[in-house]
């Protein structure tokens, strides 16, 4: 089966169906990378409720909100799960800060991208390295950089299959699911933070602003990705084979 065939099967399906099928397809080669965002909390609840033994990982950039650490602890306690935390490489962080300062990201887009590479992308690559596929909470309507997100696609940057069970969800549906299932979420969402990343790079926004407009608010919208979700296969690209599977 190809990624395109699996995508064709799962587009429009319920999130639970998508995750179940991903688990059936990849088994222990499947990992869920959670940022503890509201979307990710819904996926965590589905995995925990079904007792699927899918590995959960997250990143600690070293610049997160205190509320995010509290939510991590609360989520593990509530669902009786362990979420493995990956940290940036100490040497890379020390070199970056020595060369460009502790708050380099405010100066230039390139500096911000370097910080995201060091604090997010490199740890994510390490976290994903043992696996063939990963689940994430991307939604198409989150930003102009995510409108082409597919439920199943080839993640060229990380060399594995990326599965986004909530790709076609809108924000209203996310919060309805959070309420219906009493899923724990960051209290920052109730203070106007519609998307939450590092504390120094995230601010509250009004309801009329875009979901991710509070992230790197000093940059243009087309730059607003940390690099975790770039390099996925274009919808019109040639079909690719699922790693380890035959066509």
Q: Check if 201 is active-site.
A: no
Q: Which of these segments, 22-30, 69-77, 111-119, 179-187, binds ligand SF4 (CB under 6 A)?
A: 111-119
Least separation in angstroms between CB 209 and ligand SF4: 18
Find how far residue 162's CA is from the centre of its chain. 10
Under the criterion CB under 6 A, does residue 112 sit at the interface with ligand SF4? Answer: yes
In the chain, the DSSP E strands lie at 30-33, 55-59, 84-86, 133-135, 152-155, 160-163
Answer yes or no: are the C-beta atoms of 151 and 137 closer than 8 Å: no
Q: Is 121 in the site for ligand SF4 (CB under 6 A)?
A: no
Q: Is 119 an interacting residue with respect to ligand SF4 (CB under 6 A)? A: yes
Least Å distance, CB 184 to ligand SF4, is 23
Could you tell me the two tokens for 28?
A: 């222990």
188 binds ligand SF4, rule: CB under 6 A: no
Q: Are 161 and 15 in contact (CB under 8 A)?
A: no
- Could you give the string, one character per residue 190-219, with x where binding to ligand SF4 holds by CB under 6 A and - elsewhere? -------xx-xx------------------
133 contact partners, CB below 8 Å, separation of at least 6 = 22, 25, 26, 29, 30, 31, 160, 161, 162, 163, 242, 243
Separation between Cα atoms, residue 110 and residue 115, nearest integer Å: 9
Compute the least distance from the CB of residue 32 to ligand SF4, in Å.
21
Under the rule (CB under 6 A), what is the footprint of ligand SF4?
61, 63, 105, 112, 115-116, 119-120, 197-198, 200-201, 226
- What are the catalytic residues? 226
């Amino acid at each position: 089966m190809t990624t395109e065939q699996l995508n064709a099967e799962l587009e429009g399906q319920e999130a639970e169906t998508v995750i179940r099928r991903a688990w059936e397809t990849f088994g222990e080669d499947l990992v869920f990378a959670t940022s503890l965002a509201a979307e990710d909390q819904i996926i965590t609840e589905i995995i925990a409720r079904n007792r699927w033994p899918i590995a959960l990982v997250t990143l600690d950039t070293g610049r997160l909100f205190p509320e995010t650490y509290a939510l991590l602890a609360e989520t593990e306690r509530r669902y009786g799960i362990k979420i493995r935390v990956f940290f940036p490489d100490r040497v890379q962080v020390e070199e970056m800060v020595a060369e460009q300062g502790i708050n380099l990201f405010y100066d230039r887009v390139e500096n911000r991208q370097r910080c995201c590479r060091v604090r997010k992308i490199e740890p994510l690559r390490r976290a994903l390295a043992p696996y063939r596929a990963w689940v994430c909470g991307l939604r198409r309507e989150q930003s102009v950089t995510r409108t082409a997100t597919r439920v199943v696609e080839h993640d060229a940057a990380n060399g594995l299959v990326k599965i986004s069970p909530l790709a076609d969800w809108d924000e209203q549906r996310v919060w309805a699911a959070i309420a219906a299932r009493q899923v724990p979420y960051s209290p920052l969402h109730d203070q106007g933070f519609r998307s939450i990343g590092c504390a120094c790079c995230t601010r509250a926004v009004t309801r009329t602003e875009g979901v991710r407009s509070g992230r790197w608010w000093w940059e243009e919208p087309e730059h607003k990705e940390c690099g975790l979700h770039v390099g996925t296969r274009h919808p019109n690209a040639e079909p690719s084979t699922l790693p380890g599977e035959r066509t």
